[in-house]
Structure 1
Amino acid sequence: MIEALAPVFAGPLDFARHWLELAEAPEPLPRRPIALSTLLEEEVQRPLMARHEARYPGGDRRAALSMWTQYYCAQYLLSHLGAWLLLGRMLPFRPDDIAVLVLEDGTPDGFRLPHLGAVAEGPVDLEPLIREHLAPLFQSLQRHHRIAPRVLWTNAAVRVSAALNLARQQPDVPPLRLLEAEALLAKPCWRDGSPNPLHGTQSRVEVEGEMVLRRRVCCLRYMLPGIAGCGATCPIKEGQSAKPLPLLKSA
């Protein structure tokens, strides 16, 4: 674990200490780094996604891809937004600067960074975290795999919400940083007037007397053998089941 980032991976994220490593770290097997700029290429991306899909014999291809992005978004957004919210540190995030750590089965398992970025002295524009990293990745996935963009952006929005919820539990997070991160979900347009695809992807609903943040588009995970549904946060009945589909043996 990178000691300077230890507060980000304390408490509920203690299990995720391996998500970030520096470039000089020894390459641990069985995961290997792939530059994000390279991962955007179809000839690299397709075999990777095929290996990940093989984890779910008989599962839906779109659901497997959606699940891949859920892992990815959790690792990227909880670490990068967490570093900003808790430490005021902007970690490297651009495709040419960051490598994705990938397991043998194609599943993402964190990121390799060239350095630790810098601690910001004042307000920071967080839009580039989304527009210069997730946007090109999602565009590539849509182009090569024909998955609905709304599914991908909702997966990302859920992880932004998770990062915010974790930060709100910490007493020393500056309110201004919370406001800047909350704006990623709250504002309908980016600074240049283009639509913000994170906006409006979730809504608050009452379920059995409690308010729940529910997705407006299903992530499809219930279509994967061995994976339970999302419960009350899913917008469709099938995805609310906690009972997973039975596992199938691969041919």
Structure 2
Amino acid sequence: MTVNANHDAKTAFGASSLKAVFAGEHAWCGEKMMLSSDIEGAVPISDFFGSGGFSAALDTYAASRGGTDRRAVASMWSLYYFSLLTIPYIVARRAHHALPVAARSMTIALAEDGLPRALGLADEGDWSDSEEGDLLSFVMPLVSQNLAEIVAHLKTQGGIAPKLAWNNAAVYIDYAFNATERKRPADGDAWASRSLFSAPHLPDGSANPFLGCLRHEIDGEETVCRRKICCLRYLLPGIPSCGNLCALPAQRKQ
């Protein structure tokens, strides 16, 4: 999939809306990440986690699914949040556009079942004509301005370990970066996002929370990507397995 970042796209964006950043198979991102003013029922993320909104959302989702394991419910909720945050962010960043993803300035809207429906931004962010950076550089704003804070809430209010939460976020970053890769790395490695899971530190010198979260393994005649830590979805009634991606061998064929 190719993300265009040409002059026409830039002009269109300036004249229209945030949706101009997204194209092709990821056009859906424009319906999931938009200006807060365009989202009905959106509330500040800080208020959502600080006023009991998150706990209530977990209760709503648990009731809709018949789930009794609080960790599994919180983990599944986080999968939706991380997908709405990281995929649009990476897709836009690959199109030379930096979205403002500081949690303190963003809003969230929920679906009827309590899961995240859309995330709102304070403004449309900035275009950049600079050359593409590497994935480690791309994730720095995500980690420092949003993910670290949300992972902490998931631990204190949802009861899931930070390592599990980071692994949940890693899956979507991996997907988005690989799906928008336009050229094969110089070393011929087909896994464009490998560096995110092998580097011990992020560019600012802090420990890399994604280290080891995903790995590629040979399974028969194919190479498969696998998580380090299971997302616990198997504890929720009616939720299908994530197949070969699952960290638990017994769950891969369910």
TM bin, normalised by shorter chain, reads 0.7 to 0.9
Aligned with 1:108 (options 116, 120, 125): 116
- Cα RMSD of the aligned pairs, angstroms, is 2.4
Q: Distance in 1 between matches of 2:239 and 2:113?
A: 17
CA distance in 1, matches of 2:39, 2:59: 27
Alignment of 1:21-36 (within 5 A): 21-25=34-38, 27=40, 32-36=41-45
Residue 59 of structure 1: CA displacement?
4.3
Residue of structure 2 equivalent to 1:144? 157
Pair 1:122–1:181, CA change in 2 (3 A): farther
SS in 2 for 1:40: helix
The answer to whether the aligner puts 1:75 opposite 2:98 as a matched pair is no
Kept after mapping to 1: 8 A contact 2:177/2:192: no
1:236 aligns with 2:245: no
User: What whole-Å deviation, never above 9, does each CA across 1:144-173 have from its counterpart, x for those lacking one?
Assistant: 2221111111011111100012102x57xx
Q: Distance in 2 between matches of 1:183 and 1:59?
A: 37
Aligned residues of 1:40 and 1:136 also touching (Cα < 8 A)? no
Residue number among 174, 186, 195 corresponding to 1:161 in the alignment: 174
**Cα separation, partners in 2 of 1:211 and 1:133, compared to 1, 3 Å:** same
Aligned partners of 2:200, 2:104: CA distance in 1, in Å?
Answer: 28
Shift of 1:189: 1.3
User: Is the 2:106–2:121 Cα contact (8 Å) retained in structure 1?
Assistant: yes
- Where does 1:1-251 land on structure 2 (aligned, <5 Å)? 3-6=17-20, 8-11=22-25, 13-25=26-38, 27=40, 32-41=41-50, 43-85=52-94, 87-122=95-130, 125-126=137-138, 127-168=140-181, 170=182, 183-242=195-254
C-alpha deviation, 1:190, in angstroms: 2.4
Name the count of aligned residue pairs.
Answer: 227
Whole-angstrom distance in 1 between the partners of 2:51 and 2:195: 33
Q: Which residue pairs with 1:249 in the alignment?
A: none
Moved more, 103-112 or 69-78: 103-112
Letter in 2 for 1:203: R
Query: Displacement, 1:49?
Result: 1.6
Q: Distance in 2 between matches of 1:7 and 1:120?
A: 12
- Deviation of residue 52 (structure 1)? 1.8
Amino acid at match of 1:5: K
| Amino acid across the alignment from 2:122 | P
Partner SS for 1:54: helix
Is the contact made by 2:18 and 2:30 (CA closer than 8 Å) also made in structure 1? no
Preserved contact between residue 230 and residue 247 of structure 2 (Cα < 8 Å): yes
Question: What is the identity, as a one-letter code, of the residue corresponding to 2:43?
Answer: I
Q: Secondary structure at the match of 1:205?
A: strand
Higher mean alpha-carbon deviation, 65-74 vs 142-151, is at 142-151
Conservation of the 8 A alpha-carbon contact between 2:170 and 2:210 = yes
Structure 1 residues without counterparts, runs of 5 or longer: 172-178, 243-251
The code of the aligned residue for 1:209 comes to E
Give the drift of 1:83.
Answer: 0.3
Residue 17 of structure 1 deviates from its aligned partner by 3.8
Q: Which amino acid aligns with 1:210?
A: E
CA contact (8 A) 2:215 2:228 kept: yes
User: What are the Cα deviations for residues 174-229 of structure 1, in whole angstroms up to 9, with x where unaligned?
Assistant: xxxxx997654442112343311111111111112111110011111111111111
